[in-house]
Amino acid sequence: MTPEEFRANGHALIDWIADYVESVEQRPVSATVEPGDVRAQLPAHPPTVPEPFASVMADVDRVIVPGLTQWQHPSFFAYFPSNASYPSILGELLSAGLGVQGMSWVTSPACTEVETLMLDWMRELLDLPDHFDSRSGNGGGVIQGTASEATLVAVLSARWRATNGAVNADGDTTALVAYTTSQAHSSIEKGLRIAGIGTDRTRIVPHDDAFAMRADALAEMIAADRAAGLVPFFVCSTHGTTSSMAFDPTPAIGEICRRENVWLHVDAAMSGIAALAPELRWINAGMEYADSYCTNPHKWMGVNFDCDLYWTADRHALLGALSILPEYLRSAAAEAGAVIDYRDWQIPLGRRFRALKLWFAIRCDGVATFQEMIRRHVALTQELAERVADDERFEIVAPHPLNLLCLAARADDSTSADRATDALIDAANATGEALFTRTVLDGRSVLRFSIGARTTERHHVEAAWQLLTELA
C-alpha cells in the first residue's frame, strides 16, 4: 500500500467507523451467526497477491460485522461496559501510526513520560491516596492490558515482599496463603495459580448478605493459618464485584492487613471509574491501606480496550519481583534512578503507546463528559430499580449502588424461579433487541442488567425493561 493509497483508505476507514458507531443501534445487539459461519465465508487460504482495500472492507460488512456482539450498542446491558469514544479511537490510531516500542524510557522517552503523567492525572481525578503518585518516592502507576495482568503483578509483588525476595531464587511458595471471596473476579484465582499459589493455599473468605467479604472471618482465617505455620501474604478486596457490584469493607480489611503485614490489593476494575464524580468517592473508602489498586478506563470511561490503570505503593517490591536486566537493556538514565522503565512494571517486555488514547480522551472530551455519563447511568439504574421493585413478578437480589441491577423472577420455589429467570434471559437475548448476562448469587440464577454504554439513554433502558416484562 502506497502512502497515497493509505491516505485514501484511511479516510474511507474513518468514515466507515463513524457510520458504524452512529448506526450500531439499528443492528441486533448479539451476533447472528452459528459456530463456524464466519470462517466458512472467508477464503480457506491466504492471498498471494494484494487485494483491493474495498474488497477487504466489503468482507467486513458482509462477514465480520454480523459475527460481532455489538458492544457499543446502547441496548448492550451484558457483562460490563466497554466504551470506545472517538478521541480514544484516534489516539489508538496515532499509537499504531507512530509504531514506537515503549519498553524503556530510552526507547521512546515521550511514551514513558506521557504514561506517567496520565497515571498521576488519573490518581488526582479519582482522588486516590498520595502514596500512589509517581512523585511520592516509592509509588506510581502504569497502564496494564487488563485487570488480570494487574492482579498478577500485585500477587508477584506481594510474593516477593513476603519472602524477602527469596522466591526469585528458590521458587518456594508452599507456605504462602492468599485470601479473597467467591465474589471476586476469576482473574484473582488465575493470577494466584500462575504465581504458584494453588487452590489449597487460596482461602475463600465468607461473605455477608450483601455479598461483601466478612472482615471478622478474614481475621479468623489469617490467625488459623499463622497458627498452622503458614504465611498469609495477599488479600484481594473488591470494590464493585463483577456479579453483584458488592463492595468489600476495605477499611476493616485494611486494618487487618496492616496489623498482619499482608499485602492488600484493591480490585476496582469494574467500578473504580465512578470516583470521577466527587459524590461517588465513597467507593474509595479504605484506600489509604492499599498496597496496590487497579481500575479500567476501558470499561466506564470511553477509552477503548485495552487500558487498565494499576498503581503500587511499593515500587521496591514490584521491581524486586519483575526486574531482570540484561546488558542490552541497560541505560545510564535508568541506573541513575532518573527515569521509569515500564518493562519492569509488567509481565511482557515490549509495550505500545497505550497512554495516547487516554490522553486524547481526557483532553478532547474533558472530565465533565465522563462525569455526566457516569451520573446518567447511575440515575437510570436507580430509576430501573424502582420499576422492578414495583413489579411483583421480579425480585432485586443484591444492592445496587451504581450501575448494575441484579434481578430474578419470583416463583413458588427456587428451582422454578431459576428456570423462569434463565428462560427470560434466553428469550430476551434471542430477540436481538437487548443483551443481558446471567450470573449465580448464592445458588440463585440472576439476570444482570448492566447500564454503562456511552450512548445509552433513558429510552433504551425503558425499552429493555418493557421487553423483559412482556416476556416474563
Three-class secondary structure of residue 425 per DSSP? helix
Q: pTM (2 decimals)? A: 0.94
Q: What is the DSSP code (8-state) at residue 207? A: B
Which grid coordinates belong to 78? 451484558
Residue 77 has φ and ψ, to the nearest 5°, of -120, 20
Which grid coordinates belong to 408? 430474578
Confidence category of residue 328, pLDDT binned at 50, 70, 90: confident
Q: What is the DSSP code (8-state) at residue 304? A: P
Residue 408 has φ and ψ, to the nearest 5°, of -145, 155
DSSP codes of every residue in 208-257: -TTS-B-HHHHHHHHHHHHHTT-EEEEEEEEBS-TTT--B--HHHHHHHH
Q: Reply yes or no on whether the pLDDT at 169 is more than 80.
A: yes
pLDDT value at position 32?
A: 87
pLDDT value at position 412?
A: 86
Q: Are 104 and 280 in contact (CB under 8 A)?
A: no
CA atoms within 13 A of residue 31's CA, in its CB half-sphere: 13
Q: Reply yes or no on whether the pLDDT at 326 is more than 80.
A: no
Partners of 141 in the β-ladder? 311
- Cα of 256 vs its chain's centroid, Å: 26
Q: Are 381 and 119 in contact (CB under 8 A)?
A: no
Rounded CA separation 77/73 (Å): 9
pLDDT value at position 290?
A: 98
Rounded CA separation 469/181 (Å): 33
pLDDT in tens, 103-150: 888 889 999 999 999 999 999 999 999 999 999 989 999 999 999 999
| Fold of domain 93-365 | Aspartate Aminotransferase; domain 2 (3.40.640)
Rounded CA separation 364/300 (Å): 17
Give the residue carrying C-alpha cell 499463622. 226
Which grid coordinates belong to 267? 480490585
Q: Are 299 and 80 in contact (CB under 8 A)?
A: yes
Q: What is the mean pLDDT of the chain?
A: 94
Rounded CA separation 30/108 (Å): 40
* Nearest alpha carbon to residue 373 among 237, 231, 277, 289: 277
pLDDT value at position 300?
A: 92
pLDDT value at position 113?
A: 95
If one looks up domain 367-471 in CATH, what number appears?
A: 3.90.1150.10
pLDDT in tens, 270-297: 899 999 999 999 999 999 999 999 999 9
Structural domain spans, the chain: 93-365, 367-471
* Nearest alpha carbon to residue 262 among 322, 218, 306, 229: 218
54, with CB counted inside 10 A (0-12, 13-18, 19+), is exposed
- Residues of the chain with pLDDT > 70: what percent? 100
Q: Are 2 and 48 in contact (CB under 8 A)?
A: no
Q: Reply yes or no on whether the pLDDT at 190 is more than 80.
A: yes
Lowest mean pLDDT among 102-116, 152-166, 216-230: 102-116
pLDDT value at position 8?
A: 95
Q: Reply yes or no on whether the pLDDT at 318 is more than 80.
A: yes
Which grid coordinates belong to 452? 454503562
CA atoms within 13 A of residue 65's CA, in its CB half-sphere: 19
